[in-house]
Amino acid sequence: MTLHLAVALTGDSFDAGHWIRQAGLADDAGLDFMTFEDRFGRYGPDAVQVAARVAPLTRHVGLVPVATTTHTEPFHLSTALATLDWVSRGRAGWQVRVSTDPAEAALLGRREPLPAEELLAEAGDAIEVVRRLWDSWEDDAIIRDTATGRYIDRDRVHYIDFEGPHFSVKGPSIVPRPPQGQPVVAALAHGPQVWDRLDADVFFVTPSDAGDAARHVRRIVPEKKVFADLTVGGHVPTDAATFNGTPVQLADLIQNWWTVSGVDGFRLRVTDVADVTGALVPELRRRGLFQPSATPVLRERLGLGPAVNRYQEAGRA
């Protein structure tokens, strides 16, 4: 068993070549996935669109853009992320985020920000809607029956009929079920108010040391994957522990944290993927701590297992 390794990218460049280079470095190094930072109020390209741009040019690395549930319709999120999964051939994910910033709300002119608890409840509903929409097409719904002129079997496409305090969505999706069935859902979690409320597959935590990381792991249900965030270099304010040192020293820290805490992997916040792939990845591989997976499908690579279609299972029952 080896640890999982990911990078978190932030940036405001509208130069496609910049993102293509970063994704290519991560892909060539065999990193498990990369996340793309985003929020409504920042200057920079849309993270989902960036991931879609680099998807056809990569073959291995998972692509996990941030997409905010606040002020965003879950139907649109589900279709964009399902499309990303198709374009990447099963390597898509979604980092869920909420927005508490009044300035971001003003950009859309829809409403004032809700209290934090309500925003998390809304995010939980959004995840549920998106997951149902991903399941609304059974895997074999497309039949392409030229004799009868039928493209889909209507009995295998389902209304989701979601009714909640924040959304009312009938469905079904307008995009076939993604190749993964359910793309990987992730969230940054500073405490149980997130990991107890959101149905994510992966949680990013921000421990201060190996012991703190172990406490996080013990509090999150075992079925979830836990990644420890580390900021590599830089002098900007951050909620994650910051490392400044040599690649060998960083490998020492990662080895210690992984051995002591039981985290599944690390997400390294960097300004350039080369900061990780140049010397750190070879050092981790030399120690036998990191071995790129042979499978390109992100769910399989993270050990999440196949995603069962709730409507197909209900029909069988």
Nearest-5° angle of CA 48, CA 129, CA 131? 70
| pLDDT for res 41 | 83
Residue 111 pLDDT more than 80?
A: no
pLDDT of residue 151: 87
Task: Give the C-alpha separation, 223 to 202, whole Å.
Answer: 9
For residues 41-58, average pLDDT = 95
Burial 152-176 (b: 16+ CB within 10 A, else e): beeebbbebebeeebbebebbbebb
Residue 249 has pLDDT above 90, yes or no: yes
Q: Please report the pLDDT score of residue 266 as a whole number.
A: 98
**What confidence tens digit (pLDDT) does each residue in 196-225 have?**
999 999 999 999 999 999 999 999 999 999
Percent of the chain with pLDDT over 70: 98
Distance CA 117, CA 194 (A): 10
Contact 195, 181 (CB under 8 A): no
Q: Is 177 exposed, middle or buried (0-12, 13-18, 19+ CB in 10 A)?
A: buried
Query: Which residues face 270 on adjacent strands?
Result: 9
Q: How many Cα atoms sit within 13 Å of 256 on the Cβ side?
A: 10
* Tens-place pLDDT, residues 260-311: 999 999 999 999 999 999 999 999 999 999 999 999 999 999 999 889 999 9
The mean per-residue pLDDT over the stretch 78-101 comes to 97
| Contact criterion met (CB below 8 Å) for 244 and 234 | no
Instruction: Using the predicted structure, report yes or no on whether residue 315 has a pLDDT greater than 90.
Output: no
For 260, the token pair is 């002591």
Mean pLDDT of the chain: 94
Span 149-161, pLDDT tens digits: 888 898 999 999 9
Q: What's the start-to-end Cα distance of the chain, in Å? A: 36
Q: What is the mean pLDDT of residues 3-21?
A: 96
Cα–Cα nearest to 125, from 26, 173, 46, 197: 197
What is the distance between the alpha carbons of residues 6 and 178, in angstroms, rounded to a whole number?
Answer: 22
Q: Say which residues have a Cβ less than 8 Å from residue 168's Cβ, sequence separation at least 6.
A: 162
Structural domains of the chain ordered from first start:
4-316 (3.20.20.30)
Distance CA 38, CA 200 (A): 18
- pLDDT on residue 317: 55
